[in-house]
């Protein structure tokens, strides 16, 4: 969600939407702004202990009214994800891929699209989701339509409070790079909604152990691969956290939510460019410093982990280093000001927001 007030935004682009950053627990925050659906690659860099999420695709998820006014086809966030799943064959042919998203993408249509494209899809699940058993085989001599699903399974909240539910203990990689002891229970089911064919999936109920630190709320997850294990699904979903770090660093260093323009054309240009700048800066910093990245020193706390501000400072220093007058000597001790003072000012400017 890219926030902003809608006075001078040509009206149609601004809408109220769920704000996942400012919401928490029982508090639901609604913010005026534009929702963007972003696709990012998660991987590790040689000079960072944590995984990074590098965005490479982003589209605005506009309301049906806005699309009608602009003469565009309306697509929800899950429908855009299904479009990207269809492009998977051209982007990464024959490569196993796991996609992770938030609860907005927990739809039967998206699960079906991911299964058709060979993509494993993991997301949060609704507690009131309709889950059913597989249909009982019917004799060929029986007339009429064959059932597509069996009886309805107990609800997820009922399983959570049922004393007969069998829980298994395990340890999974969690947010912040730590190990989290959890208890899980899982099962295979058919997810369905009225008017659509059911799709096979695997659901997982997750709750922290009594002696585990952190949040105490249970979670419900789903995976489009019915053969995946519960701990695999939980570990995959825990790998979603780097994209939240990316959004926060874009707000702090690239002005993702502090732009001073709200025309529709300007927003359509600048927002994807900010995603691309983040990715290009990180990859350029990796090229310039393949072994270790210089980390900025802070007087109030020791910094041991490289952040995006360090990558941005390294790229800035490399660019500014080649901006001297070409007629000047490379080994000169003076470049209008003493070199030591120039390097000090350059270092301060590199880490400026």
Q: Residue 71 CB: number of other CB atoms within 10 A?
A: 6
- Residue recorded with tokens 């494993």: 120
Would you say residue 288 lies in a domain?
yes
Ordered mean pLDDT values, 10 residues apiece, the chain (353 residues): 49 51 63 79 87 88 83 87 82 84 86 88 89 83 80 89 88 76 89 85 86 72 91 88 88 78 74 89 90 73 80 85 58 64 70 62
- Residue recorded with tokens 């972003």: 38
- Under 8 Å CB-to-CB from 228, ≥6 apart: which residues? 120, 202
Would you say residue 232 lies in a domain?
no
**Predicted pLDDT of residue 94:** 79
- Whole-angstrom distance, CA of residue 34 vs CA of residue 13: 7
Would you say residue 166 lies in a domain?
no
Q: Phi and psi at residue 316, in whole multiples of 5°?
A: -60, -45
Q: Residue 320 CB: number of other CB atoms within 10 A?
A: 13
Would you say residue 341 lies in a domain?
yes
Would you say residue 346 lies in a domain?
yes
**Predicted pLDDT of residue 319:** 82
DSSP structure string for 24-41: BTTB--EEEEEEEEEEEE
SS (H, E, C) 238-252: HCCHHHHHHHHHHHH
**Predicted pLDDT of residue 223:** 92
- Whole-angstrom distance, CA of residue 273 vs CA of residue 278: 9
Would you say residue 183 lies in a domain?
no
Would you say residue 287 lies in a domain?
yes
**Predicted pLDDT of residue 200:** 92
**Predicted pLDDT of residue 7:** 42
**Predicted pLDDT of residue 76:** 86
Q: How many domains does the chain have?
A: 1
Would you say residue 220 lies in a domain?
no
Two tokens, residue 140: 């060929």
- Under 8 Å CB-to-CB from 276, ≥6 apart: which residues? 55, 56
- Under 8 Å CB-to-CB from 21, ≥6 apart: which residues? 1, 247
**Kind plus residue range of the DSSP H or E element containing 182:** strand 179-191
Range of the domain at 316: 267-350
């Amino acid at each position: 969600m890219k926030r902003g007030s809608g006075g001078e935004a040509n009206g149609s682009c601004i809408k109220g939407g769920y704000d996942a950053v400012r919401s928490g627990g029982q508090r639901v925050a609604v913010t005026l702004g534009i929702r963007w659906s972003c696709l990012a690659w998660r991987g590790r860099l040689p000079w960072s202990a944590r995984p990074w999420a590098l965005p490479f695709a982003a589209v605005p998820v506009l309301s049906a009214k806005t699309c009608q006014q602009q003469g565009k086809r309306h697509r929800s966030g899950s429908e855009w994800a299904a479009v990207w799943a269809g492009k998977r064959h051209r982007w990464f042919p024959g490569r196993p891929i796991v996609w992770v998203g938030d609860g907005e993408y927990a739809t039967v249509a998206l699960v079906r699209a991911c299964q058709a494209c060979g993509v494993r899809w993991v997301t949060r699940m609704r507690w009131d989701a309709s889950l059913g058993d597989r249909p009982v085989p019917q004799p060929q001599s029986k007339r009429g339509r064959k059932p597509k699903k069996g009886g309805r399974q107990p609800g997820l909240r009922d399983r959570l409070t049922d004393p007969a539910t069998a829980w298994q203990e395990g340890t999974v990689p969690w947010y912040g790079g730590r190990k989290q002891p959890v208890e899980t229970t899982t099962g295979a089911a058919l997810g369905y909604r009225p008017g659509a064919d059911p799709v096979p999936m695997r659901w997982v109920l997750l709750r922290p152990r009594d002696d585990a630190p952190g949040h105490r709320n249970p979670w419900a997850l789903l995976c489009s691969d019915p053969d995946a294990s519960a701990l695999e699904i939980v570990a995959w979903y825990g790998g979603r956290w780097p994209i939240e770090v990316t959004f926060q660093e874009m707000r702090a260093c690239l002005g993702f939510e502090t732009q001073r323009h709200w025309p529709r054309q300007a927003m359509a240009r600048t927002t994807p460019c900010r995603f691309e700048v983040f990715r290009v800066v990180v990859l350029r910093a990796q090229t310039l410093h393949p072994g270790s990245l210089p980390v900025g020193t802070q007087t109030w706390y020791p910094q041991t982990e490289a952040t995006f501000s360090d990558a941005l400072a390294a790229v800035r220093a490399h660019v500014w280093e080649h901006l001297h007058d070409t007629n000047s000597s490379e080994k000169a001790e003076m470049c209008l000001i003493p070199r030591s003072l120039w390097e000090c000012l350059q270092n301060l400017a590199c880490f400026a927001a």
